[in-house]
Amino acid sequence: MKDSGLPTGVRCLVGKSGNKRFLLRYISPITSKKASIGLGKHPETDIITLRKIAKEYRQQILEGIDPKIERDTEKIDSSMSLERFFNEVYLPLAKQKRSWKDEVARFRHAKSIQHVSIHELTAAHIIKVQMEMQGAISKTTNKPYAAATINRVLALLKTVNRQAYKLMDAPLVADKVSLMKEDNVRTGYLSEVQLKDFIRHALEYPDRHTGAFLALLFLTGLRDKELRFRLWNDINWDEQILTIPHTKNGSSHVIYLSDYMVEVLQSIPKVSNNPYIFAGQRKGQPISPARHALKVIKLKMGLPDIPGDKANITLHSARHTVGSLLASNGVPLHDIAKQLNHADLSSTRRYSKLTVGRRREIGSHLSDMVSGHVSLG
């Protein structure tokens, strides 16, 4: 073997029955442990072929590639189903987002196509899931699935397909599938006059932490948990910014505080041994979701409280309020998207980056609307 011109590490193993097979033994550049990979059997593999294969593997090792891991990965890639890709590749990346459990639940709706290889997935498979959901009844509501619910499942499958395209060269079929037209999107939001009244009632609410929370929620357009779980350390008083380290889409987000927002924050009493801005009754914990306080304020304002109604004001209405009022004041849609930290406004739009000055100007719009009419007491 030493005189055959073969790379170091090639061995010929002879079994009890006389069968001969060739191996390349080496130290894996990945694990730094001893490893071996088969080169072929005798007499099917001649010496010329043996040299060629062994030299290719040896070159891979010199380049920092483990040929056995590489070969096994290729075998797995070619047979990987949609389900395996979701669980083994997509999900570990998705767990960076807070909403990853929702994606697991949505993926269950695609059970009929989970066995399909990611390399054989087609637009027809995704549309099949859509058709199945359109003809099914939700076990939760005992009603047909809403278009918005179906769209979330379709959007997930489209995202998974794009990831497979980027990571494993699977065919890109996601762009061929269109989302359904939605007619059940929540549109509840406050008018400018109502917002002024809402801020006043919020700051007069008996629990000052809860009241200040609701006021700032409707001034910033943040998501409930993004604001409710903020710590005093998240505020930079000198630069007047509030930092959200982790948002729903996995990224960090910065809110540029207006003078009025800073005034509201400074009016909140600090609670010893509680790091949260909006301290709750339980030791070291933030306030609970302010749904009761919101209901009380709506009652004082004469606003209806009809769960499920499109125009009903909820905690999420803070985002609709900020978006609609900024738009009515001439703020471009891509600027609003940046303010609300939307990952996408639509599949065909992209958002431009804003300067700090522009972000601060946008963040002051709503404060300017109400600060001249609301007293902090």
Residue by residue, what is the 3-state secondary structure of the chain?
CCCCCCCCCEEEEECCCCCEEEEEEEECCCCCCEEEEEEEEECCCCHHHHHHHHHHHHHHHHCCCCHHHHHHHHHHHHHCEHHHHHHHHHHHHHCCCCCHHHHHHHHHHHHHHCCCECCCCCHHHHHHHHHHHHCCECCCCCCECCHHHHHHHHHHHHHHHHHHHHHHCCCCCHHHCCCCCCCCCCCCCCCHHHHHHHHHHHHCCCCHHHHHHHHHHHHHCCCHHHHHCCEHHHEECCCCEEEECCCCCCCCEEEECCHHHHHHHHCCCCCCCCCECCECCCCCCECCCCHHHHHHHHHHHCCCCCCCCCCCCCCCHHHHHHHHHHHHCCCCHHHHHHHHCCCCCCCCCCCCCCCHHHHHHHHHHHHHHHCCCCCCC
Q: 113 to each of 127, 218, 364, how far by Cα in Å? A: 11, 42, 49
Instruction: Please list the pLDDT of the chain residue by residue as tens digits (377 residues).
Output: 556 667 788 888 998 888 999 999 999 888 888 889 998 888 888 888 888 888 999 898 888 888 887 776 655 555 789 999 999 889 888 887 777 889 999 999 999 999 999 999 999 999 999 999 998 998 888 889 988 899 999 999 999 999 988 888 889 998 888 888 765 445 588 888 999 999 999 999 999 999 999 999 999 999 999 999 999 999 999 999 999 998 876 778 899 999 999 999 999 999 999 999 999 999 999 999 999 999 999 999 999 888 767 778 999 889 888 888 887 777 777 777 777 777 654 422 332 334 455 556 666 766 776 776 555 65
What pLDDT digit, counting tens, does each position of 163-193 carry? Answer: 988 888 889 998 888 888 765 445 588 888 9
Q: Cα dihedral angle (175, 178, 182, 186), rounded to 10 degrees?
A: 0
> What pLDDT does residue 154 have?
94
Same domain, 38 and 87: no
Flag whether 299 is in a domain.
yes
* Token pair for 167: 């990571």
Phi and psi, residue 123, nearest 5°? -60, -30
Flag whether 14 is in a domain.
yes
Same domain, 38 and 114: no
What pLDDT digit, counting tens, does each position of 303-352 carry? Answer: 988 876 777 899 988 988 888 888 777 777 777 777 777 765 442 233 23
Flag whether 376 is in a domain.
no
Flag whether 377 is in a domain.
no
Domain count, the chain: 3
- CATH number for the domain harbouring residue 27: 3.30.160.390
Would you call 348 exposed, middle or buried from its count of C-beta atoms within 10 A (0-12, 13-18, 19+)?
exposed
Flag whether 164 is in a domain.
yes
Same domain, 62 and 84: no
Please give the residue range of the domain that contains residue 160.
Answer: 80-176
Same domain, 164 and 278: no
Give one word for 350, left, alpha or beta, with left for phi > 0 and alpha for psi -120 to 50: beta
Same domain, 23 and 116: no
Flag whether 1 is in a domain.
no
Which of 126, 147, 176 terminates a domain? The answer is 176
Q: Of 342, 81, 46, give the one whose Cα is nearest residue 222.
A: 342
pTM metric for this prediction: 0.53
Flag whether 186 is in a domain.
no
Same domain, 199 and 341: yes
Amino acid identity for residue 170 in this structure: A
Same domain, 221 and 343: yes
Cα(175)–Cα(347) distance, integer angstroms: 10
Same domain, 126 and 262: no
Phi and psi, residue 371, nearest 5°? -65, -25
Same domain, 196 and 158: no
Which of 176, 209, 233 terminates a domain? The answer is 176
Report whether the peptide linkage leading into residue 29 is cis, meaning its omega lies within 30 degrees of zero: no
* Token pair for 187: 């549109």
Flag whether 183 is in a domain.
no
Same domain, 332 and 217: yes
Cα(96)–Cα(348) distance, integer angstroms: 25
Which of 58, 73, 88 terminates a domain? The answer is 73
- CATH number for the domain harbouring residue 337: 1.10.443.10
Sheet holding 241-244, edge to edge: 235-236, 241-244, 253-256
Cα(128)–Cα(82) distance, integer angstroms: 14
Same domain, 103 and 216: no
> What pLDDT does residue 298 have?
94
Same domain, 169 and 200: no
